[in-house]
Structure 1
Amino acid sequence: MFKKCLAAFAALMVCAGQTAAYENREETPTTRWDSGAEIVWRYSELEQPAGISTEDAVTVLIAATRRWEKVVPVRFKFAGVTRETMEASEKCSAVSPVVIGWGSGHPKYPNMAAFARPCAGKSDASRIVGGTIEFTATKPELSTSPTRLGTLDVIATHEIGHLLGLEHSNDPDSIMRPKLEEAQGNHIKGELSSRDMAVAAVLYKAGMPELGGEDWRDMYAAAPEDIKVRFRAALIPAR
C-alpha cells in the first residue's frame, strides 16, 4: 500500500489513514546544528487538545529530546510554557527558542499528524539555527485515543529527528520511517533503532570527537556501509 500511495500522490502527498505521513526522501540529510549546540525550546499549550495536559505533553517531549541527546552532540534546554501561535513562531532566528506546539495542521497536507520546520542559517544553508514542530490538534489519535500519550511520544521523537536534520528512512524499524502507527496499549515505540543512531552518527560525525565520547565514534564505525557510502560525498565539514 505504501508504494501505491507514493506513486499516486508523489513526493509530498500523504496516505489516508496514516497517523503521521511525510515526504519519503532518501537518508541523505545535508543540514545539522552546530556540534555542542544548546537547543532552547518552549512548549505552546495554545490549541492543546483537552485530552492532554500541559504537564503530560512536556514530560513526553523532554523524554523524546533525551533520546536524541544520547546519540547526537547537542543538548536540549526546556525554557517554559507559552501560549504563542505557531504562525507567530515560524520566523527563523538564531536567538529565538524552538517552539513546539499545536495547530490546525499542515496547510497543504491536512492528513499529517505533525510536521517539523527546521530553519537554516541565512549565511550557511547547512547550519540549522531554529525551527518549530507542530502537532495537529484535531487528530483523534493525539486528542481522544486512549493511547494518545504513547502516540505523541512516537511522533515527537520522529519530528525531533527532523528538527536535528534527519530525513526519512525506508527501514521499517526506524523512528524516521514515513508512516508511524498509533501506539498500542501502554507500549511506547518511540525508541531509536540502530539505523537511526547510525544515520545520526554519520550526520554529526565531524563534531563527535570534541565531546569526548567513544560511543559516537563506535556508533559511526558500526554504521551500515550503505549509509556511509551515501554520505561520503556530502559530509559536512567540522564547525
Structure 2
Amino acid sequence: MAIKAKETAGKTIPPEDTGDVRVERPQTGAEYLDSLRDDRTVYIYGERVKDVTTHPAFRNTARMVARLYDALHDDKRKHRLLLPTETGNGGMTHAFFKAPKTMDDLVAGREAIAEWAKITYGWMGRAPDYKAAFLATLGANADFYEPYQENAKRWYKFSQERVPFINHAIIHPPVDRDRPPNEVADVCCHVEKETDAGLIVSGAKVVATGSVLTNYTFVAHHGLIPLQD
C-alpha cells in the first residue's frame, strides 16, 4: 500500500511540501482550492480539464469542500469541530482526525462529523473526513505497519495538523474476472521499482472516489482474492 506524493518533473515531493505549503494547521478553503491547481490530469468527455475548481462538472463540489475547511476557522463553528492536536505543534485539528483515547474524544469526533454533514445538508458522501478513521489508525496502531511505523506516524502527524483531503483507490480493474490479479499484473497497479525517493508504480486502480478533488490518493489491495504472486 502507499499514499502517493506528488511528482513534478521527475522529482518526488514529500507530503509536507506539496503545493509549497509548510503550515502546521488545518488548511483554509482558499488554500484547499489553490492546492487543486497543480496541473493534475483529469479528463471528462474526452477533453482535458484545465482547472477542476472552475470546470462546471467539479466547481460546485470544490466550493462546498472549501466551505468545510473554512468552517474549521469559523469562530461560530470551530468549537463543534476541533480538538487540540497531540503532535506537539500546539494547534487544533478536526476531531475525527485524532485517534480517540476517551469517551469524550469519541463524542467529539461524532459531533465534528455531524457538523460538517450539516453544512452540506448530508449530500456529500465523500467529504474529507471519510478517510479520517483510517488515518487515525496510522497513529493509534502504528506497529501494524512494521517495519514502516515511522512513516505511518509521520502521515498521522501531517494529517492531524493539516487535515488533507485523501481518497482511496483499492479496486482492481475488472479484467478477466476468472483470473487472479497476478495473472493480469500488467493492468493492475503494481510496484515497478523502489527508490530512496519512494515507489514507482504502474497500472490502474478503479473506484478512486473523489480523486479529482483530493490532495492525496491511498492505494491498496481490497478483498479476499487469492494472490499467488
Please give the range of the TM-score, normalised by the shorter of the 2 chains.
under 0.3
The two structures have a TM-score, normalised by structure 1, of 0.26
Higher helix residue share: 2
Pick 1 or 2: higher relative contact order, CA cutoff 8 A, min separation 6: 1
Larger radius of gyration: 2
